[in-house]
Every structure is written in C-alpha cells, then in structure tokens.
Amino acid sequence: MPSGQTHDRITIWSLPLVAGVTLASTRSSNVTLLVAGGFMFGGLMFGPDLDIYSRQFQRWGFLRWIWLPYQKSLRHRSFLSHGPIIGTTLRVVYLTTFVAVVAILLLVIFAKLGNVALNWGEVWKSVGRTISIYYGEFLALFLGFELGAMSHSLSDWTGSAYKRFQKQGIQGLLPHGKIKKRKPTRSVKPVRKRRGKAE
C-alpha cells in the first residue's frame, strides 16, 4: 500500500489531467474549478483513509475529532470507506449531517439570545431552493470528491496487487490468490463377470 506522501503526489500530479479533461468536456471554467477543487480536497483531506489515523485525518487539525465515530464504525479498507461512490457518498452524508446539526444548534442559540422566533418551514424551504438552484455545482463538487477518493483507492489496489504479483506471480492476481488444482481422477474400468458355459 502506498505511503501518505505517495498518495499526495499522485493527487497533485493528477490535478492538471483532471482539470484539463473537465475543461475540455464542459467548456466551463466554473465547473472545472469545482471539480478540480473537489479533487484536491477529496485526495488530500476527504479520502478513504479517514477511517484510520492517517495524513488525511491529521489535516483536519482541531476538527479531526469529528471523524472519530466514523473511524470506530468502519473497518479499514472496507467497501463502505474505499468502495467506489458508496465511500464518498457515506462521507458526504456523514459530514453534511454534522454540519447540519451544528447549524441548527447555532440558529437555536442565536434565536434564543436575540429573542427571535424561528420559522423552520422557511428555513427548510430556503435550503431546498439552494439545493435545486445549485444542484449542478453540487454534482460537480461531488464528482471531484469521488475522483480524488478513487485516485487514492486505485493506487492502494494497484500497490497491493503488485506486491501479490511479486510474491505469488500470476496466481496472486486471481480471486483469493489461489488456483484450485483438481485432483486427478483415476478412471476405474468396471470388471465384467464372464458367464460360464452352460453344462
């Protein structure tokens, strides 16, 4: 498995390619900026290795404690953390839930301190309008997160496969790393009883 420094290099070296392909595909500098920014964030801070004490985890600084329940809930390199789409989706849902809870608490505190009545219906309508207006931008950002995470997971899988290949040869690349050899079966011919001559 590559080191954290190698993962960082892969992310940084891949950035021009991701940005170039995105710009050529969309012809939009805004979408390119969102995908490239999401790619950097996904590769350096929001990737699959948040499930362990890693460089990605450490980069959250004093906020890294928010990932502790995430780490305790998942086994390292499980499908839920390193799997395509599902890993990024789970992290986005996890972080969004945390941010939403903090935002609601802050709104309640400010409403109490300012003696203002909150209209929760209007709050949720405002959130819904924002999502519907900017869904394209959210999608571009998610795509960047996913590409950053997948560059990490693919380098993990490639590194592990290469090590297995070095140790076991082609057998290490096959499922379970083994070729099941069939035991040779000996065909036993049935013995025919000879009929004796009638006396």
CA distance 122 to 117: 12
Does residue 178 surpass a pLDDT of 50? no
CA distance 178 to 29: 49
Output the pLDDT for position 162. 60
H or E element at residue 130 = helix 120-133
Output the pLDDT for position 186. 60
Query: Which amino acid is it at 2?
Result: P
Output the pLDDT for position 3. 67
115 token code pair: 């003696």
- Full-model pTM: 0.75
Top-confidence residue, 168 or 19: 19
Output the pLDDT for position 177. 45
- Closest alpha carbon to 42 in 73, 88, 78: 88
In this prediction, residue 96 has a pLDDT band, given cuts at 50, 70 and 90, of very high
In this prediction, residue 176 has a pLDDT band, given cuts at 50, 70 and 90, of low
In this prediction, residue 6 has a pLDDT band, given cuts at 50, 70 and 90, of confident
Does residue 168 surpass a pLDDT of 80? no
Which residues does 64 contact at the CB level (< 8 Å), separation at least 6?
Answer: 57, 58
Output the pLDDT for position 7. 79
Rounded percentage of the chain residues whose pLDDT exceeds 90: 51
In this prediction, residue 140 has a pLDDT band, given cuts at 50, 70 and 90, of very high
17, 49 Cβ separation under 8 angstroms? no
Output the pLDDT for position 57. 94
